[in-house]
A and B are shown apart, each in its own frame.
Chain A
């Protein structure tokens, strides 16, 4: 089966600084990949390189076999890749309802698994706040809104960058519950998160970045069972 996402030899720069040094990443349909690494190691840059938001200087990004290295971000999104960015990215000047429905559509294969009703059932908090402005929500609610909005595009891949950052433990747990539900629904995910236990518990496979290079790549169990890798690369 072809990979949903296949990035090869990605080199990305910000001006003169060389951030990614030839990163390979592959994601199979339905797979959950945990992407880890300390601050500033290039996780977000890798995700943005895949999403077309930052242009890699060399390397290729394929989505479902098609070369999308130079494609506009909206083309990549329409191919079935949804994004929940670091620091959220809700539209504060739109209501909760508008945030959710503004980009809602059938997926790349025509699937309509996620409807407004299903998202509101998954996030009861959003239903209570449906008429509020996006900017009036708490941090956790904003995160739910961004995830719900991404799901309403009926993606095949969901990319979550630090979805639980800065959230209270109880709210974080709520987000992880949703991520499990998303995984169960068959959507492939790339999860970037600092919570090692939570990521390895849900991910099928894990990857660790150090200074823009992949230093570990393998099944989550191997990472869980080998504290030395964890200590060396993650410091946890």
Chain B
């Protein structure tokens, strides 16, 4: 691999990792703060992608579809928390798993009814249609750079929100003692509804911005859900910082696994088994630190 294609793969790996982080951060936040296991998280990613496709088609502008889609998914998240999730806080995790698994099925069915089962694509929006030349023969799409920049900006904003604002303090305090937070005059139910909706919107937004670079198709939620859980487990449950590190690691392992050739004892290990790389990474991390890289010791 020459330097030029190495650079392209590195950028791809980082961009994929950042997108994974965006999806997984919502999952880890909702689990870490609210103690809710949300199997339907991948469905929100899919809903985001379909919304971007359908709204961009109807409105005629991807850039206008984004804020509309975010508002819609925040509302959807609030509705689901209020209608369903809020009833399960006092119960065992098993109920959440069952409920959110049911949600996956319901969302798939609804998606089929509303949008059909076809595979769609949306064009890369202007002004990011071009590519930046890296060498004489290699170029990198500007839109992918834009994705990375947006996710990095969101990661910084999320960090500041959680670590530096009073809202973030209240949210963190709620993770350790809900009753006390209420007795200080804070409406914890509303606060948690907001956190859940925020997690939903993060996944959906990831689906929206990735729609122009990957196709929009029925099974896209399930794939993403599994990888997101691997990210959360490697990074440490509840740790946003851990999710960032884990997602980038998976991006690197996955991307370079697919473009590297490796033979061991006459067997072609890479790229044939590249799909297993992230699970091996997870197994390795868990052997080293069972609580994940930035997780709290159990």
Contact of B184 among A53, A72, A77, A98 (CB under 8 A): A77
- Contact A94:B184 (CB < 8 A) given known A53-B179, A73-B179, A89-B177: no
Within 8 Å of chain B (Cβ to Cβ): is A92? yes
Closest chain B residue to A102, Cβ basis: B169
A149 touching B172, Cβ below 8 Å: no
What separation, in Å, do the CA atoms of A82 and B184 have in the docked complex?
A: 7
Residue-wise, chain B 158-190 has the 8 Å CB interface mask toward A (1 for contact) of 000000001001101101110111111111110
In the complex, which residues of chain B have a beta carbon less than 8 angstroms from the beta carbon of A91? Answer: 172-173, 176-177, 180
A94 touching B172, Cβ below 8 Å: yes
What separation, in Å, do the CA atoms of A101 and B181 have in the docked complex?
A: 13
- Contact A73:B172 (CB < 8 A) given known A89-B177, A91-B177, A101-B166: no
B169 touching A83, Cβ below 8 Å: no
Contact of A94 among B169, B182, B188 (CB under 8 A): B169
Contact of A85 among B183, B185, B187 (CB under 8 A): B183
- Contact A89:B187 (CB < 8 A) given known A94-B169, A101-B169, A102-B166: no
Within 8 Å of chain B (Cβ to Cβ): is A51? yes
Contact of B176 among A73, A82, A92, A101 (CB under 8 A): A92
What separation, in Å, do the CA atoms of A150 and B180 have in the docked complex?
A: 11
B187 touching A103, Cβ below 8 Å: no
In the complex, which residues of chain B have a beta carbon less than 8 angstroms from the beta carbon of A77? Answer: 182-186
CB < 8 Å A-B pair total: 64
Closest chain A residue to B184, Cβ basis: A103
What separation, in Å, do the CA atoms of A83 and B182 have in the docked complex?
A: 10
In the complex, which residues of chain A have a beta carbon less than 8 angstroms from the beta carbon of B175? Answer: 93
What separation, in Å, do the CA atoms of A101 and B177 have in the docked complex?
A: 16
Residues facing B in A75-115 (CB within 8 A) are 77-78, 82-83, 85, 89, 91-94, 98-99, 101-103, 105
What separation, in Å, do the CA atoms of A53 and B166 have in the docked complex?
A: 24
Within 8 Å of chain B (Cβ to Cβ): is A74? yes
What separation, in Å, do the CA atoms of A98 and B166 have in the docked complex?
A: 8
Residue-wise, chain A 42-55 has the 8 Å CB interface mask toward B (1 for contact) of 00000000010100
Closest chain A residue to B182, Cβ basis: A73
B169 touching A53, Cβ below 8 Å: no
B183 touching A83, Cβ below 8 Å: yes
Residue-wise, chain A 6-28 has the 8 Å CB interface mask toward B (1 for contact) of 00000000000000000000000
Closest chain B residue to A79, Cβ basis: B185
* Cβ contacts A to B, 23 pairs, < 8 Å: A72-B182, A72-B189, A73-B182, A74-B182, A74-B183, A74-B184, A74-B185, A74-B186, A77-B183, A78-B185, A82-B183, A83-B183, A85-B180, A89-B180, A93-B172, A94-B169, A94-B172, A94-B173, A102-B169, A102-B184, A103-B170, A149-B184, A153-B185
Give residues in B with beta carbon < 8 Å to A. Answer: 166, 169-170, 172-173, 175-177, 179-189
Not counting A72-B182, A82-B183, A91-B172, a sample of 15 additional A-B residue pairs whose C-beta atoms are within 8 angstroms of each other reads: A51-B183, A53-B182, A53-B183, A74-B188, A77-B183, A82-B184, A85-B183, A91-B177, A99-B173, A102-B169, A102-B184, A103-B170, A103-B181, A105-B185, A153-B185
